[in-house]
Amino acid sequence: MADILIDIVAFIVITAIKGKIHDKISEIDLSFLLAVERLGFFKMYFTTMTVDVENIDFQKLQFLLHYSYFANNAVRVYQITSYTKASKLIFFGRKMRSELQSTVVTFERKAARALASYNKYRKEFEYFSDDMSKLVYMHGSFLKYVRNAEDTINK
């Protein structure tokens, strides 16, 4: 009877651990797919804006290229939180946690590059405010992430 009870408890514990691991992996997958989906949105917008090559002016094309660089780095903020949470999960091995933490550092560097490019081209982005209002889907979460990070630093 005691053996059956121990087996049941062990099964419950192992199932709970597997569930936690699966949850974190699913969270990482979801953040990756969200980043890909946001870049897909921008790619579609870029294509729509540049399809009429004869009528596009150089400033608009330059804006889109600068925004493209910004967007490719900015989407990493969707992944930072999920990777950070996963890197703290004790059920992953030391090597896996280390790799996740180094990935978080890489994503944070890319987010810093995105912020630098956003600040560098801010006037250009403000000039094309109509486009920026359509692209808020892309950069809204990034700016929210930056504000939260600044609030945390200021505390």
Note the pLDDT of residue 154.
60
pTM of the model: 0.76
Q: Which helix (H) or strand (E) holds 89?
A: none
End-to-end CA distance of the chain: 56
In the Cβ-directed half-sphere of 15, how many Cα atoms lie within 13 Å? 6
pLDDT digits (tens, 9 = 90+) for 68-112: 999 888 888 888 888 888 888 887 788 888 998 999 999 989 988
For residue 1, what pLDDT band results from cuts at 50, 70 and 90?
low
For residue 9, what pLDDT band results from cuts at 50, 70 and 90?
confident
pLDDT digits (tens, 9 = 90+) for 114-135: 989 989 999 998 899 888 888 8
* Number of domains forming the structure of the chain: 1
For residues 60 and 107, give the distance between their C-alpha atoms in angstroms, rounded to a whole number: 28
CA torsion 119→124→129→131, rounded to 10°? Answer: -100
* Higher pLDDT, residue 9 or 153: 9
How many angstroms from the chain centroid is the CA of residue 144?
Answer: 12
155 in helix, strand or coil? Answer: coil
103 in helix, strand or coil? Answer: helix
Domain of residue 94 covers 2-154
Total number of residues shown for the chain = 155
Residue 147: phi and psi, rounded to 5, are -60, -45
* Higher pLDDT, residue 140 or 128: 128
